[in-house]
Amino acid sequence: MHQLTLALYQPDIPQNAGTMLRACACLGFEAAIIGPTGFPAADRHFRRAGMDYLDQLTISRHISFESFQHWRKSNQQGRQARRLILLSTKAEKSYLDFAYQPDDILMVGRESAGVPEEVAAASDAVVKIPLIPAARSLNVALAAAIVMGEALRQLRPNAES
């Protein structure tokens, strides 16, 4: 049985990556880091933002998107590959209008560039956080936390129909 996972596509700001991994640990998500990253995993900013929570978290590391895709599609015991849900400012669908499933993988792109078109095309769904017209984007760690919270709200055991 899988659980919700947050995938970080080639993160390039260690503080944001550490913050997202800390959120994963606190909210019960697993994490996947898709390389290459813009910093070493031993980076002091990464460790500081993640604090001691990084040791309490299941993190799968992938050298490339291709290796991540192989991991996502393997060991499914006859089931379909886990769904990949990309958070993107370019999406049409709001994250609030999406029905999350218990083994979904939520993915955020690079802070500086998002994800390449081929990665977006490989996603099963693309969702956005609606912003006011003058706003371009939220901090990636904040955006991840918002969507993680909605997925958990929808999937909580005692959710009302």
One-character DSSP codes across 98-125:
----TT-EEEE-BTTTB--HHHHHH-SE
pTM: 0.90
**% of the chain surpassing 90 pLDDT:** 67
Residue 39 has pLDDT above 50, yes or no: yes
- Alpha-carbon gap, residue 104 to 106, rounded angstroms: 6
Domain boundaries defined on the chain: 5-155
Report the side by side order of strands in the sheet with 30-34.
Answer: 59-62, 30-34, 5-9, 105-108, 84-87, 125-128, 93-94
Q: For the domain covering 5-155, report its CATH number.
A: 3.40.1280.10
Q: What is the pLDDT of residues 7-38, one digit of tens each?
A: 999 999 988 998 999 999 999 999 999 999 88
- Alpha-carbon gap, residue 21 to 54, rounded angstroms: 7
The predicted pLDDT at position 1 comes to 46
DSSP class of residue 80 equals P
The predicted pLDDT at position 158 comes to 56
